[in-house]
Chains A and B, each alone.
Chain A
Amino acid sequence: MTENLQLNSDGKLKHFLTIEGLDKALLTEILDTAESFAGMSEQQVKKVPLLRGKTIVNLFFENSTRTRTTFELAAIRLSADVINMNIATSATSKGESLLDTIRNLEAMFVDMFVVRHATSGAAHFIAQHTAPHVSVINAGDGQHSHPTQAMLDMFTIRQIKKEFAPLRVAIIGDILHSRVARSQILALNTLGAAEIRVIAPKTLLPAHVETLGVNVFHNLTEGLKDIDVVIMLRLQKERMTSALLPSESEYFKCFGLTPSKLKIAKPDAIVMHPGPINRGVEIDTRVADGPQSVILQQVSNGIAVRMAVMSMAMQARGNG
């Protein structure tokens, strides 16, 4: 169902809700399309007319700076008209009002929604209920999925490492609450990475995490051996108050990425982080700003990948 919902009758990407159900060819197509946009940002004229006359609404029910900005820039560079809507939601807000919001915007002849929502399945729900001519791009739903983030990470990995097949990738931190990790794991498995490891204390790992196709480590030193790509996840402060961790300092001691810990990984390992980073909590400043860090490259690549996904979805939507 998830699979079919995302694709039109020709198997093209109509909505981008999750990596699940998308094959290697489609993920590669996204990466290749992004490649064609990647050089554009450095040119004098940073625009192509691909989405001229189209209206895109960034519908953010949850705060975001980076993701929203790169989606906005991506839309602008594709010559679309963009409207940003930040809708603070209360815990009691119901699907009813979510649906009403969507229906109202649809009535204004919107072509695409970029949606971020605190509840897993929200983007899926919108895609199911939106008019057939509207595309939905998931910019993060609850703990479920953040597919454009995963694809920009894949793009960055491919830029540097070229091939996925030989790569051992470690994802470190709060896997339990991370939609980014879930999407990255799906993408890396689809693209054929040799090994994916998750490294975290048990409190930050979801039940049966190994069923996602990962090896589980509770010890950073052991987990970093032979690793080509280190992906750090953001640790939210509220994890302390919810008894998932005793303190930031203890977390940093066990799972914080310091220069000496990084030495355990392969010498040419790269360090990634979806941001925003907590220096001194999950990552040492020297690593974040060090030569192996590609964190800012990830941000730049976010624009190209989002342009790719938006243009592909807009093209596919005409064909049912």
Chain B
Amino acid sequence: MQKIAIENGRIIDPANQTDSIGSLYIAEGHIISVNETPGDFTPDIVIDAQNQIVCPGFIDMSTRLRQPGQSHKATIKSETRAAASGGVTTLVLQADTKPAADTPAIVELIKDLADKADYPNIVTIGALTQKLEGQELSPMLALKQAGCIAVGNAGKPVSNLLILRRAMEYAASHDLLLIYRPHEHSLGNKGCAHEGAIATRYGLPGIPYTAETIALAQCLELAEQTGCRVHFGQISCKRSLIKIQQAKKYGLDVSADIAVHQLHLTENDMEPFDSAYHVLPPLRSDQDKQALREALSEGVITVLCSDHQPHDLDAKLGAFPETEPGMASIETLLSLMLKLVNDKTISLSQGIAALTCNPAGILRLPSGSLSVGMIADICVFDAHMSWTIDSTTWKSKGLNTPFWGSTLSGRVTHTLQSGKIIYSLN
């Protein structure tokens, strides 16, 4: 394997509370030294990271790659290239592949596809219930043995609370983390937009905040009862944050993430009937956005994810309620995080932690830091370089982003996965 030196960059490694100019030395896929040049080290490649930031590669806690099952939308090959260009070195895949990731065979298939795409770091969340139908438990131990780092509902309902309880008890027995997107479907009532003034004006079926908070509250109660570790995905409402904060104070082992677009967009940004803004959970109110920002800044929420959901053109071509929800967002993850730093919502170190060591800690992954001996998953980026989202820069097969045509700042220049350069700009 190649020896690589990344020189003169600003190394930000929140896990080790490092923020200083220095160099990294990589050999055999691992970080062998920070700052001190190893004695007999002759690099094959030198990356000049002057005026750039060097940090652990990003761990994206919620993605859909559309394979297996929907390769007309995107493929593991196309989306891992998009991920690499966004500095993401570990992809956490939601269980709602087609078929759902409820058997070791599907998990193995995903691993094979990942290897073929030269992007081995795809970790799959196993389905909590068979076919994600909320009826019967999935073979969680077998899924864990096949490599699943957690089990989850992928936003699908587990409407029978007895089954949710049993699933959580069973997951806890095998020390499996539950990744749960709280959504009470009966209250969601086929809605497609936040139940608020905008939905009322445009006659769009609304999703009330209680669809999230009630499902969250139920799951929190069961977490306490069952001892199951829970990570809540894509929190969108102010009142959910209060509940999470209380639970943490109470000593429950819970954590949560926010899809980064929720920190920038609200119902008011929705162009009338523009399906690019159709996401689930829906874009909420200004108040919710402010509360989410505060929660991130105060550490109630510690993880940012892209909630990447690439779509084919037809999926987004129609009257708003009939289009499929989701945004292709992995390539905007870094820029939207940096925007929070520029807004002074969070520090740069906090933002990087939310994409690296914090998810690594929750998922117990051996990555997310730049300690000597760690696997060399690294992102080098220029925080001030601006770029325009268009067909010359975009890698994802999904063009469904409301930021299309916008100019954002923050561009990845190099991405290393296990010591291998998987992306370099130009």
Contact = CB atoms under 8 A, between A and B. Distances in A.
Decide whether A and B are members of one complex: yes
Interface of A: 1-2, 20, 93-96, 98-99, 117, 119-122, 124-125, 141-145, 179, 182, 206-209, 211-212
Contact of A209 (B200, B208, B274): B200
Given A125-B273, A207-B206, A95 B196 contact: no
Interface stretch (B56-64, B212-220, B227-235, B317-325): B317-325
Given A144-B203, A207-B206, 19 more contacts: A2-B273, A95-B314, A95-B319, A99-B317, A119-B322, A120-B203, A120-B204, A120-B205, A121-B202, A121-B272, A124-B272, A125-B318, A125-B319, A141-B203, A142-B203, A142-B321, A182-B203, A207-B208, A212-B201
B372 interface: no
B142 interface: no
5 contacts: A95-B323, A120-B321, A143-B205, A179-B203, A207-B206
Nearest to B189: A242
Interface string B284-328: 000000000000000000000000000000100111111100000
| Main secondary structure on B side of the interface with A | loop
B275 to A, nearest CB: 8
| Main secondary structure on A side of the interface with B | mixed
B422 to A, nearest CB: 35
Contact count band on B: 20 to 34
B273 A207 contact: no
Nearest to A129: B317
Contact of A212 (B200, B205, B320, B321): B200
Contacts of B206: 206-207
B184 to A, nearest CB: 15
The 7 closest A-B CB pairs, nearest first, are: A95-B318, A144-B203, A143-B203, A121-B273, A211-B197, A206-B200, A122-B319
Given A1-B271, A2-B272, A125-B273, A99 B203 contact: no
Contacts of B272: 1-2, 121, 124
A179 B202 CA distance: 9
Contacts, number: 86
B13 interface: no
Interface of B: 195-197, 199-206, 208, 271-274, 314, 317-323
A95 B322 contact: yes
A206 B197 CA distance: 9
A143 B319 CA distance: 12
A94 B197 contact: no
A205 to B, nearest CB: 9
Given A1-B271, A2-B272, A207-B208, A119 B319 contact: yes
Contacts of A2: 272-273
Given A94-B322, A95-B323, A208 B317 contact: no
A226 to B, nearest CB: 26
B195 A207 contact: yes
B332 to A, nearest CB: 22
Contacts of A211: 197, 200-201
A1 B276 CA distance: 14
Contact of A141 (B208, B274, B319, B323): B319
Contacts of A208: 196-197, 200
Nearest to B194: A207
B319 A117 contact: yes
